[in-house]
Amino acid sequence: MKKSPIITTGILFLLLLASCTAQEYPTTGSIERLSPELDRIIAPGKLPEILAEGFEWSEGPLWLPDLEKVIFSDIPNNSIFEWSENEGLKLYLKPAGYTDTIARGGETGSNGLLLDGEGKLVLCQHGDRRMASMKAPLDAPEASFETIAGTWDGKRFNSPNDAVFSSSGDLYITDPAYGMELRYEDPRRDMDFTGVFRITPTGEVSLLTDKLTAPNGIGFSPDESILYVANSGGSSGSIWMEYELAEDGSLQNEKLFYDARPASDSLRGGPDGLVVRNDGIIFATGPGGVWVLTPEGEHLGIIRTGQATSNCTLDAKNRYLYMTADMYLMRIRLR
Burial status of residue 128 (CB atoms within 10 A of its CB: 0-12, 13-18, 19 or more)? buried
CA–CA separation, 325 and 313 (whole Å): 12
pTM: 0.93
CA–CA separation, 107 and 181 (whole Å): 7
Q: 143, 31, 170, 158: which is closest to 79 by C-alpha?
A: 143
CA–CA separation, 250 and 218 (whole Å): 15
Q: What distance separates the 2 farthest-apart alpha carbons in the chain?
A: 81
Sign, CA torsion 159/163/166/167: positive
Task: Give the tens place of pLDDT for each residue, 64-82.
Answer: 999 999 999 999 999 999 9
Predicted pLDDT at 15: 44
Angle at 217 between CA 113 and CA 262, to 5 degrees: 150
Predicted pLDDT at 87: 96
Predicted pLDDT at 21: 45
Predicted pLDDT at 119: 97
Q: Is the peptide bond before 95 cis (omega within 30 degrees of 0)?
A: yes
For residues 290 and 321, the answer to whether their CB atoms sit within 8 Å is: yes
Predicted pLDDT at 223: 98
Residue-range domain boundaries for the chain: 25-333
For residues 202 and 173, the answer to whether their CB atoms sit within 8 Å is: no
Predicted pLDDT at 69: 98
Predicted pLDDT at 22: 59
CA–CA separation, 320 and 315 (whole Å): 6
CA–CA separation, 110 and 80 (whole Å): 8
List phi, psi (to 5°) of 17.
Answer: -65, -40
pLDDT averaged per 10 residues in sequence order, the chain, 335 residues:
46 44 86 98 97 98 98 98 97 98 94 98 98 98 97 98 97 98 97 98 98 98 98 95 97 97 91 98 98 98 98 98 98 97
Sign, CA torsion 177/179/180/183: positive
- Exposure letters 263-298 (e unless 16+ CB within 10 A, then b): bbeebbbbbbbbbbeeeebbbbbbbbbbbbbebeee
Predicted pLDDT at 266: 87
Strand boundaries in 166-213, DSSP class E: 171-175, 195-199, 205-209
State which fold the 25-333 domain adopts.
Neuraminidase (2.120.10)
